Amino acid sequence: MQPRSYLKLSVAVALATIAMKTAAWWFTGSVSLASDALESLVNLAGAVFALAMVTLAAQPPDADHPFGHHKAEYFSGGFEGLLILGAAVGIAWAAVQRLLAPQALTELGLGLGLALVSSALNGGLAWGMLKAAREHRSMALEADARHLYTDVLTSVGVVVGLLAVHVTGWLWLDGAVALVMAANIGREGVKLVRAAVDGLMDRALEPELRDQIASTLAEFAHPTIRFDHVHTRRAGSRRYVDLHMHMPAGWTLGRAAALRTSVEQALMAAVPGLRASIQLLPTDVEAHFNDTKDPL
């Protein structure tokens, strides 16, 4: 299933879980369940924005964006991260108020049942979305999936906490659990914002992919052929590598171009989704770009 289909399903599941968690809060009066419902609202907003960004990222290059729109997905991750941080602050505030003024809970059985059903929905969807995110290398899909996983963990924590309230009679546990939830949600929000910023700043490819590129180039290395100024970057689902290939000045253009084509094909076969750009230079010519080393 394509990322857009998953995100449409995420919107539908978010609406369903909002209804169930709001009902659970209404029946029980638990601030923990109210906080859980608030996070589901964030899920909905994040899924809608992610759907918009994935749609934009899929648009072909145009005159104003000749390299495409792939980085739009990073805006989705950053936006969802900021939403999560906002929800964490709201949950923490409500938790502190409940700690200061504990209240009795009612209809716990029904409320917890609704919370568990909504968690099962989110958990199943998150598993499928994370798998698809890795397949399609979609930042927006991964951000939404990780947020859903956080929601599942939050709901499980709420259920455990409310069961503890029921067994011990300690009403303050309701607020304490909500406060722990706020910290966990906030941590996930920071991670998503950081990942989005890394993407927008043209972060290099993962170390294992850089190693794969280096080993592929090594297969073509020769006393008369060398590679330098190798740079990699990510842009949404796309991966890029730029490098210089030095060869004997006496080679014909056709021979040099044929070797470059072989190297490009080998690189793109080794790293799925890679776009390789290779500049040809004579062996005795250097081209410097004010860098002190050649990071992959």
Q: What is the pLDDT of residues 88-111, one digit of tens each?
A: 787 777 677 767 777 666 666 777
Alpha-carbon torsion angle 90, 96, 98, 99, nearest 10: 160
CA angle 190, 137, 58 (to 5 degrees): 105
Q: Please tell me the predicted confidence (pLDDT) of residue 1.
A: 73
Alpha-carbon torsion angle 64, 69, 74, 75, nearest 10: 50
Question: What's the chain's average pLDDT?
Answer: 80
Q: What is the pLDDT of residues 151-189, one digit of tens each?
A: 777 777 777 777 777 777 777 777 787 777 778 778 878
Tokens of 225: 């052929």
Q: What is the pLDDT of residues 186-198, one digit of tens each?
A: 887 888 788 778 7
What pTM does this model have?
0.61
d(CA 38, CA 264) in angstroms, rounded, equals 49
Domains and CATH numbers, the chain: 3-200 (1.20.1510.10), 207-282 (3.30.70.1350)
d(CA 64, CA 116) in angstroms, rounded, equals 48
Q: What is the pLDDT of residues 250-285, one digit of tens each?
A: 899 999 999 999 999 999 899 887 889 899 999 877
Banded model confidence at residue 70, pLDDT cuts 50, 70, 90: confident
